[in-house]
Amino acid sequence: MISTNQFRNGAAIRVDGKRFTILYFQHVKPGKGGAFVRTRLRNLDTGAIIEKTFRASEKLESVRTESRVMQFLYRDGDLYYFMDSENYEQTAVPVEVIGESAGFIVPNGEVKVLSADGGVVSIEPPAHVDLEVVETDPGLKGDTATGGSKPATLETGLVVQVPLFVNIGERVRVDTRTNEYLTRV
């Protein structure tokens, strides 16, 4: 059990039978009435974000979570296989759990795997990844960095907007949080 006085950003709790992580919390003590805690929570299973208010010193059930850095090995159908670098244990994760992060997972690349109650609930790729451009319109002489952008398909199937001078076969760095082109590498 965890009290609202022990809330920390990133802590995992169970509310109404569902698992959530705390994104933000604020203790509020109004001039009249009892104190309360205003929170913003992310559902571990669906990714939905809700706002909820709790009474001060209310007790909630805590959820045991574990975050481990794992290496992506391969994909087999709807399963992605990851290996723990410390004990070489392999874990299969369904594509539904990975969601949009699948476009940022490269072979032998490392990701953070978040487990709750013994099951994998989410995959967090690094802040940026380097991917090869496999399809885009050809760049023309005179195209500059400030001249506009064009769509490019990367090796994982992800489509991002890149400057006009980027060509097929070049490697680009992409920010995984905003899904934007950063630079050529």
pTM over 0.75: no
Q: Which of 14, 19, 66, 13 is nearest to 46 (CA)?
A: 19
Tokens representing 122 are 């989410």
Which pLDDT tens digit goes with each residue over 149-185?
Answer: 888 888 888 888 888 888 888 899 988 888 888 888 8
**Cβ–Cβ < 8 Å for 135, 149:** no
What radius of gyration, in Å, describes the C-alpha atoms of the chain?
A: 21
Domains and CATH numbers, the chain: 2-62 (2.30.30.30), 65-124 (2.40.50.140), 128-184 (2.40.50.140)
Which pLDDT tens digit goes with each residue over 42-97?
Answer: 887 777 889 999 988 888 888 887 888 888 888 888 888 989 888 888 888 888 77
